[in-house]
């Protein structure tokens, strides 16, 4: 039995989740002290309500997945529209170093999953499912590779297993990133730009998404122009997804949306000399991020997590510990052991166990309290949304060949 909510009711529920999350973070010291993102706080409450409905009535509450997907695409489009070539160039060496850190982590995550599966007497491919396929890749990658593992490698229930692991990762990634970054900041006596007395003009120079609660002055004309830009990104994403279907150039639709945003933004900047209204992109991007996360957490089926076998729970717990150790001792040190590095660690936890939107929400929870981080908000969205999916696909193929 299912209780289905249409797109209209799903949007209303998402808004309520965000209001509840904002209230909880303000009023509950534990959530505020550990920098838990508002969508995660409200979303977990909603997920518990849905679990209660299922346990007592047998009804599975479901929400409009297309609406969630739409807001995800708008969010990734906003990342692309915010990234002109001058910003990408500004990432420079730090972006390459962070990318190398993540490449190594992909190997670590899969090695841990496979090793733990073998120690617990499970098929090593199940360890791969509980590795970068779901934790770094998220729900989309879990569904795609789950089908491959079921049909070509005989792993029964790989899709369901993958979705459950990705769900676990989404929750944990949103819970551990903020506390770890805050611990690093306090332990090392780090200070953000607010603590150093940066001016408001410097704050306004920070990249989009770094200050979601900052007032943004936009006009109706700018809003319409920005919506047209988003429509162009989504149209490009749809066209490229259909064009590359079944080919070696096939990529997730959200990657094409981000790439389309980069192309459109830089064409407007350098070819047509059209001034893009960044503040409007910032507003729409932050709103889409919050609504996407709210719907994603509303859609959590906690009863599926409860049905996970004990050995799989052990694997995921070990993966969480390894993530925290790697981020705290490797990512933080390699990226410079400064305030930017701490914010990068919050983002690393977000997409290392969940998804890029979770990474951005984690970083926002930190920068809301300590001040913006230009480097983190420049690097994490590009690495987490674009490079990771390509590199992860390569690593998954290599591990599958090794295990075959």
Give the pLDDT confidence of 257-274 residue by residue, as tens digits: 888 988 999 899 888 888
Question: Mean pLDDT over residues 280-294, rounded?
Answer: 85
Q: What pLDDT is attached to residue 386?
A: 65
* 107 is a domain residue: yes
* 36 is a domain residue: yes
Domain encompassing residue 27: 2-192+219-403
As a whole number of Å, the CA-based R_g of the chain is 20
Q: What pLDDT is attached to residue 371?
A: 86
Taking 90 as the threshold, does the pLDDT of residue 318 lie above it? yes
Choose among 136, 137, 203, 191: nearest CA to 341.
Answer: 191
The C-alpha atoms of residue 37 and residue 177 are separated, in whole angstroms, by 10
Tokens found for residue 260: 């389309």
The C-alpha atoms of residue 182 and residue 35 are separated, in whole angstroms, by 8
CA distance readout (Å), 7 to 54, 133, 237: 21, 29, 22
Per the CB < 8 A criterion, the answer to whether 331 and 341 are in contact is: yes
**Alpha-carbon dihedral of residues 170, 336, 334, 365, nearest 10 degrees?**
0
* 205 is a domain residue: no
The C-alpha atoms of residue 226 and residue 314 are separated, in whole angstroms, by 46
Q: What is the pLDDT of residues 187-246, one digit of tens each?
A: 999 987 754 444 444 444 445 555 555 666 778 888 899 999 999 999 999 999 899 887
* 293 is a domain residue: yes
Beta bridge partners of 3: 61
Q: What pLDDT is attached to residue 344?
A: 94
* 203 is a domain residue: no
CA distance readout (Å), 5 to 12, 61, 300: 10, 8, 14
* 199 is a domain residue: no
The C-alpha atoms of residue 74 and residue 193 are separated, in whole angstroms, by 29
User: Which is more confidently placed, 176 or 386?
Assistant: 176
Indicate the range of 41-55, 91-105, 150-164, 256-270 predicted with least confidence: 150-164
Count: domains in the chain: 1
Position 8 confidence tier, pLDDT thresholds 50, 70, 90: very high
Per the CB < 8 A criterion, the answer to whether 299 and 65 are in contact is: yes
Q: What is the pLDDT of residues 356-382, one digit of tens each?
A: 778 888 998 898 888 888 788 888 877
Interior CA angle at 250 toward 246 and 254, to 5°?
135
Question: Mean pLDDT over residues 30-49, rounded?
Answer: 79
* 202 is a domain residue: no
Cβ-based neighbours of 194, under 8 Å, separated by 6 or more: 370, 371, 372
* 274 is a domain residue: yes
Per the CB < 8 A criterion, the answer to whether 180 and 172 are in contact is: no
């Amino acid at each position: 039995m299912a209780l289905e909510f249409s797109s209209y009711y799903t949007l209303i529920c998402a808004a309520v989740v965000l209001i509840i999350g904002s209230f909880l973070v303000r009023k509950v010291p534990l959530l505020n002290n550990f920098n838990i993102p508002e969508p995660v706080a409200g979303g977990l409450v909603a997920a518990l309500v849905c679990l209660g409905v299922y346990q007592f009535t047998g009804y599975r509450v479901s929400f409009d997945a297309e609406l969630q997907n739409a807001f995800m695409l708008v969010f990734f489009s906003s990342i692309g529209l915010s990234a002109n070539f001058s910003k990408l160039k500004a990432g420079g060496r730090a972006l390459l170093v962070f990318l190398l850190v993540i490449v190594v982590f992909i190997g670590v995550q899969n090695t841990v999953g496979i090793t733990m599966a073998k120690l617990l007497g499970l098929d090593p491919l199940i360890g791969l499912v509980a590795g970068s396929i779901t934790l770094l890749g998220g729900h989309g990658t879990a569904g795609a590779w789950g089908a491959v593992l079921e049909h070509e490698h005989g792993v029964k229930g790989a899709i369901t297993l993958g979705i459950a692991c990705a769900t676990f990762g989404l929750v944990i990634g949103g819970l551990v990133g903020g506390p770890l970054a805050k611990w690093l900041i306090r332990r090392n006596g780090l200070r953000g730009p607010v603590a150093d007395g940066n001016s408001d003009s410097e704050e306004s120079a920070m990249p989009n998404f770094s200050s979601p609660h900052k007032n943004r002055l936009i006009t109706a004309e700018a809003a319409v122009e920005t919506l047209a830009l988003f429509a162009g990104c989504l149209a490009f994403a749809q066209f490229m997804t259909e064009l590359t279907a079944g080919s070696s150039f096939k990529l997730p639709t959200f990657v094409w949306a981000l790439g389309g945003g980069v192309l459109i933004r830089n064409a407007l900047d350098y070819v047509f000399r059209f001034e893009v209204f960044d503040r409007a992109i910032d507003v729409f991007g932050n709103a889409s991020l919050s609504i996407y996360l709210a719907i994603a957490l509303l859609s959590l089926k906690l009863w599926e997590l409860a049905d996970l076998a004990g050995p799989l729970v052990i694997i995921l717990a070990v993966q969480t510990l390894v993530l925290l150790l790697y981020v705290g001792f490797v990512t933080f040190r390699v990226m410079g052991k400064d305030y930017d590095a701490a914010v990068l660690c919050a983002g690393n936890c977000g997409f290392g166990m969940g998804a890029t939107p979770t990474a951005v929400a984690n970083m926002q929870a930190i920068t809301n309290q300590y001040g913006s981080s230009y480097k983190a908000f420049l690097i994490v969205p590009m690495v987490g949304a674009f490079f990771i999916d390509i590199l992860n696909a390569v690593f998954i193929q290599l591990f599958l060949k090794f295990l075959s």
